[in-house]
Amino acid sequence: MNKAEIQLAQIVSAPMEENSYVAWLEGRNECLVVDPGMEPENIINYLEERGLTLAAILNTHGHYDHIAGNAALKARWPDCRLVIGTADATKLIDAGGNLSVMLGIEGTSPPADVTVDGGQRFSAAGMELEVLAIPGHSAGHVVYLYRHHDPLIALVGDVVFAGSIGRTDFPDGNHRQLIDGIRAKLFTLPDSTVLLPGHGPSTTVGEEKRDNPFVGGGG
């Protein structure tokens, strides 16, 4: 696996203040985009300005604010692979399941090219990411963990935020599952692991173990 330094950019999409991430290796022009939101033109402009080619779209889960940009990015780079957790794959093509109907949009996405489950690995653009299945916010929510960096980097979607956790009141949400998954699969990573969430600022495993009122400090 390429040991070149990973480059990361965060692009925030209105109106949900959703974080999309662009990742690529120094010296390469292929990249990954994680959770393209509701303003995909900003992502497309960012990639084109830097001469980057999209190799894969990684969706942490299938809620609309995290998949709204899939269609535009696939239209611009039709050979890129669209990746999502197996249990959330139907949300891509189901406006009820992806909750866009709640926004009055009824939006959908192209179907998945690749579905992943916990314990698998996905490779593209010279990067290998480990898939952690952490349901609770949605049934098929996955986290993408990049181990080839010090500190480790986890793209956590809506599993955990700085000082909070994802909502569990959606139809396939489960509060206990989410808490247990965070503790078992994220809090067992090194404290220095950087958590890049779907909303709000980045944080670390150590900070959330210590300060998060929902899952930290033994709460």
Q: What is the pLDDT of residues 38-71, one digit of tens each?
A: 999 999 999 999 999 999 999 999 999 999 999 9
Q: What is the pLDDT of residues 179-193, one digit of tens each?
A: 999 999 999 999 999
Q: What is the pLDDT of residues 137-178, one digit of tens each?
A: 999 999 999 999 999 999 999 999 999 999 999 999 999 999
Residue type, 199: H
What letter does residue 199 receive in the DSSP assignment?
Answer: B
**Residue 102 φ/ψ, nearest 5 degrees:** -65, -25
Which domains are seen in the chain, by residue range?
Answer: 6-211 (3.60.15.10)
Q: What is the pLDDT of residues 199-211, one digit of tens each?
A: 999 999 999 999 9
What confidence score (pLDDT) does residue 216 get? 82
Structure tokens at 204: 């670390």
Count how many residues are written for the chain.
219
| Element containing residue 205 per DSSP (H, E) | helix 205-211
Instruction: Output the pTM of the full model.
Output: 0.97
Listed in sequence order, the residues at least 6 apart from 150 whose beta carbon sits closer than 8 Å to its beta carbon are 192
Instruction: Give the mean pLDDT of the chain.
Output: 96
